[in-house]
Amino acid sequence: MVELKANKIGFRYGGTKKWILKNLSISLKDNQVKGLIGESGGGKSTLCKILAGYEGNFEGELKIDKLNTNDSKFNQVQLIFQHPERTMNPKWKMKQSLDESWEVSDDILEKFGIKKSWLNRWPNELSGGELQRFSIIRALNPKTKFLIADEITTMLDAVTQVQIWKLLLSMAKERKIGILVVSHDKELVNEICDEVVYLDDINHDIKYNL
């Protein structure tokens, strides 16, 4: 079993004194769907960026057990964002954006309900739900072991939300990918996760006084 472990993470923005995360530890197993609930502006997104390697300036330790991370430059921890449109080069057609990550089989495209004609469209010609499907497929590179899903269905309608989560959960199970579901929506997290943690509980060294 592979495990993503973050130990005693601390973070503050460059030059500022105020800690956003302090002494925070969290772990994720590769067969686990874990929920993380937190208040808006409480550092959820920052934690996601640290876990997925987007933010290097933090204190503490981040490691993946029993897996040699040096064999490829591809990050085994992939982050899926709230706004899929920002993750696509606006001057690239969807096919090119997909290929940037891996060669996706027609099988998977069909499974995700992606029509062949969409591949020839520009990002601004697709809806938020359609774009989010693309960004999830991009993150599901065969090398991916963990997914950090940062409010990935917050901008989508309820019907699309169900479609995307059911797909993602079945794919993750098939491939033994661990998912951290980061959301403000308790109902959603309780519905899809095996285990739920609250950011306030694990980030206990920080007291908010808003």
Instruction: Provide the binding-site residues for another protein, judged by CB under 8 A.
Output: 38-42, 52-54, 72-75, 78-79, 81-83, 86-89, 91, 100-101, 113, 125-130, 138, 141, 151, 154-163, 166, 184-188, 190-192, 210
Q: Please state whether beta strands 146-150 and 77-80 pair in parallel, antiparallel, or not at all (unpaired).
A: parallel
Closest approach, Cβ 24 to another protein, in A, equals 18
Return the number of the residue (8 or 78) whose C-beta is nearest another protein. Answer: 78
Question: C-beta of 156: minimal distance to another protein in Å?
Answer: 6
Smaller CB separation from another protein, 28 or 199: 199
Closer of 29 and 44 to another protein (Cβ): 44
19 CB-contact burial (10 Å; exposed 0-12 / middle 13-18 / buried 19+): middle
CB of 120 to another protein, least distance (A): 10
Min. distance of Cβ 11 from another protein in angstroms?
Answer: 17
Nearer CB in complex with another protein: 24/181: 181
Task: Tell me the closest approach of the beta carbon of residue 6 to another protein, in angstroms.
Answer: 17
